[in-house]
Amino acid sequence: MALDLTKQNFVQETEKGVVLVDFWASWCGPCRMLAPVVEQIAQEHSEWKVCKVNVDEQPDLAQQFGVMSIPTVVCLREGKESARSVGLVSKDQLLAKLQLV
């Protein structure tokens, strides 16, 4: 299951390993359609940490990452952004855009 990130726990939860961060909002249709894909990745790949950031509740984090459109999924490696995917895509496309396959 994906972990909810806040400004308070962001650095602690994302500084080590490979972390996928899904920037989303409850009112966003494409975000709701991507959510099961993100959850499936979380279940299938325990070697990665999968997290979610609600942009309405955490606007500072969205701004920090320059998120202009949602859904946006960012791949962090050791706390540094290595890739990102913007928009609704399939699981295979998402993993390819995030350079995880």
Q: What's the sign of the alpha-carbon dihedral 60, 70, 57, 4?
A: negative
Q: State yes or no: pLDDT of 1 exceeds 90.
A: no
Q: Rounded to 5, what percent of the chain is helix, strand, coil?
A: 35, 30, 40
Of residues 28, 34, 53, 94, which has the active-site annotation?
A: 28
Characterize the bridge pairing of strands 49-54 and 72-77.
unpaired
**Number of domains making up the chain:** 1
Whether 51 is catalytic: no
Q: Give residue 101's pLDDT.
A: 83
Q: Give residue 73's pLDDT.
A: 98
Characterize the bridge pairing of strands 80-86 and 72-77.
antiparallel
pLDDT of 30-85, one tens digit each? 999 999 999 999 999 999 999 999 999 999 999 999 999 999 999 999 999 999 99
Residue whose token pair is 């996928």: 20
Average of pLDDT values for 9-15? 96
The CATH number given to whatever domain includes residue 72 is 3.40.30.10
Of residues 31, 38, 41, 67, which has the active-site annotation?
A: 31
Q: Which domain holds residue 92?
A: 3-97
Q: Which residues 6+ apart lie within 8 Å of 9 measured at CB? A: none
Strand-pairing partners, residue 51, are: 3, 21
Q: Give residue 81's pLDDT.
A: 97
